[in-house]
Amino acid sequence: MLIAQTMQPLDNGFRTLGVVMYPIEKKIADGFAAFETEQDPQLLYVALNEIEDVQRYAVPEHRDACRRGLSLLLSFMAELEPHIDAKWERKKVPPLGVPLPVPDLPVYGTGEVDPAAIADPAIRARYEQELKTNRENWVRYNVQFQLRGVEERAVDDLKLFAERCFAGSSANRQEYEQLLNTSSLSDRLKKKFRKLGRPRLWRFG
């Protein structure tokens, strides 16, 4: 049941000011807020599941349901986009650990030594910082790796949903274009999604 009078998008497709959000918009917004804190991409999969549930019951004859399903997905992708580092490269895997700072110290199974066992404070501090940096690099790498998976699934959803709900007539195509143009996606993604699946998706006579 809808509990908001109107949706007032701000800097993304979900957050509102002075307006109560629909339940699903709130779930998605909460998912992104939690992700920003926890850096766990699984939270975004949960949010995407909510959108897929809406889309599952949309059929071409119900235009409001089609528009809502597409709007939710476009807003999700607009919110996701800033979190994806365009400079990230899959092949640039961080090194496994850092060089040992001094010889003849017991080495853990992780390949690390106990910093407390390093007598020289300068060497110890440098080693601790190198360990911290290496762990942060691995976290960033893994998050970006998983975010690509979220993005790929969202794009697949867009392809399938567009083919099901927005193909078949020029009016449907215009609806798709209008929702895409008014979304908060970057111009780069708007351009990409305008070309999505052509000519396979849009079989207009």
Tens of pLDDT, residue by residue over 14-54, are 444 344 456 889 999 999 999 999 999 999 999 999 999 99
Whether 146 is in a domain gets the answer no
**What's the rounded Cα separation, in Å, for the pair 54 and 143?**
27
Residue 28 lies in a domain: yes
pLDDT at 103: 83
As a whole number of angstroms, the distance between CA 79 and CA 69 comes to 16
Q: Which residues contact 49 (CB under 8 A, 6 or more apart)?
A: none
Which pLDDT belongs to residue 80? 97
User: How confident is the model at residue 199, as a pLDDT?
Assistant: 45
Give CA angle at 133 (132, 138), nearest 5°.
100
Helix (H, G, I), strand (E, B) or coil at 107: strand
86 is a domain residue: yes
Find, among 156, 149, 160, 14, the residue nearest to 76 by Cα.
Answer: 14
Domain assignment present for 18: no
Task: Identify the segments of the chain with pLDDT beneath 50.
Answer: 1-20, 197, 199, 201-205
pTM for the predicted model, two decimal places: 0.79
The answer to whether position 132 is within a domain reads no
84 occurs within a structural domain: yes
As a whole number of angstroms, the distance between CA 193 and CA 16 comes to 26
Question: Do the domain assignments include residue 1?
Answer: no
Give the domain extent around 73.
Answer: 23-92+151-194
What total of structural domains would you count in the chain?
Answer: 1
Does some domain include residue 108? no
Q: What is the pLDDT of residue 198?
A: 53
